[in-house]
Amino acid sequence: MGAEFITTTVDGRGVAEVVVDRPPVNALPVAGWYALAETLTGLGRDPAVRVVVLRAEGRGFNAGVDIKELRAEGAIVEVNRACFAAFAAVYDCAVPVVVAVHGFCLGGGVGLAGNADIVLASDDAYFGLPEVDRGALGAGTHLSRLVPAHRARAMMYTCATASAAELHGYGSVLDVVPEPSLRGRALEVAGEIAGKHPAVIRAAKEAFNGIDLWDVKRSYRYEQGFTFEVNLSGVARQERFGIGD
């Protein structure tokens, strides 16, 4: 359950390709976030895997959580835990994770991309956190790894989006290519990494995580506390579903 829309292949170079395909917008349910976390963690533990490419099929990369699940009382707790697990799995994966973004990258999509080692994007890709319009918060931690701090605040408060070209200008997106070329470019970058000594690359991944300026997991967990507070206040249900207390 949850893994039926996640496919994984590993080629002879040790490049693992993880593809999410959950129409219409790749919004994941709780089980899907957990399945993605388990997939990434398992690949990192596989000595045959040298690098992971995470991408999606369909209209866009990821539209966040399946909002229908949030109708249930108390559902926010498990949704929070599932997103935390998936974002952490990208960050903690023992090998580099290359994320290939096309179309929309919203909410949870920003959480995945922001915790990745390398982000590639198609020229139609855009990034954003529509959380405020839905009575929620979260992933400011990850957005702040993609855009400068003041830009991140403006995007959070206004729900504005940023283009792939803008993020390329900041240096957080490595390359912007036409959408038909995105998968090939991601596999090309991954192949270059896979050609290095795997022990050195794994050590480099661990070293970079160790020198990060802030703890992304603790930072995101802190944000989730405010998401929970807003949810408890009743504002979230009003904004998402038009349901009052």
- For 88-131, write each residue's pLDDT tens digit: 999 999 999 999 999 999 999 999 999 999 999 999 999 999 99
Question: Does pLDDT of 244 surpass 60?
Answer: no
Do the domain assignments include residue 83? yes
Is residue 95 within 8 A of residue 116, CB to CB? The reply is no
Strand order from edge to edge, sheet including 104-106: 104-106, 126-128, 161-163
Do the domain assignments include residue 242? no
Per-residue confidence (pLDDT) for residue 50, from 0 to 100: 98
Question: Does pLDDT of 239 surpass 90?
Answer: no
Mean pLDDT, the chain, rounded, equals 94
Do the domain assignments include residue 113? yes
Cα separation of 132 and 134, whole Å?
Answer: 5
Question: Does pLDDT of 144 surpass 60?
Answer: yes
Domain residues for the domain of 16 are 6-178+205-236
Question: Does pLDDT of 199 surpass 90?
Answer: yes
Cα separation of 181 and 223, whole Å?
Answer: 36
- For 37-83, write each residue's pLDDT tens digit: 999 999 999 999 999 999 999 999 999 998 887 777 678 899 999 99
Burial of 64 (0-12, 13-18, 19+ CB in 10 A): buried
Cα separation of 162 and 27, whole Å?
Answer: 20
- Is the peptide bond between 178 and the residue preceding it cis, with omega within 30 degrees of 0? no
Cα separation of 83 and 30, whole Å?
Answer: 8
Do the domain assignments include residue 190? no
Do the domain assignments include residue 151? yes
Give me 1's structure tokens: 């359950």
Do the domain assignments include residue 48? yes
- CATH code: domain of residue 217: 3.90.226.10
Per-residue confidence (pLDDT) for residue 241, from 0 to 100: 60
Cα angle 87-93-98, degrees, rounded to a multiple of 5 = 80
Do the domain assignments include residue 241? no
Per-residue confidence (pLDDT) for residue 245, from 0 to 100: 46
Question: Which residue has tokens 């603790």?
Answer: 218
What average pLDDT does range 11-22 have in this prediction? Answer: 98
Question: Which residue has tokens 């990821």?
Answer: 62
Do the domain assignments include residue 27? yes
Beta strands in 3-111 (DSSP E): 6-10, 15-20, 51-56, 97-101, 104-106
Cα separation of 6 and 225, whole Å?
Answer: 29
Look at the chain and report how many structural domains it folds into: 1
Per-residue confidence (pLDDT) for residue 240, from 0 to 100: 64
Question: Which residue has tokens 């405020």?
Answer: 132
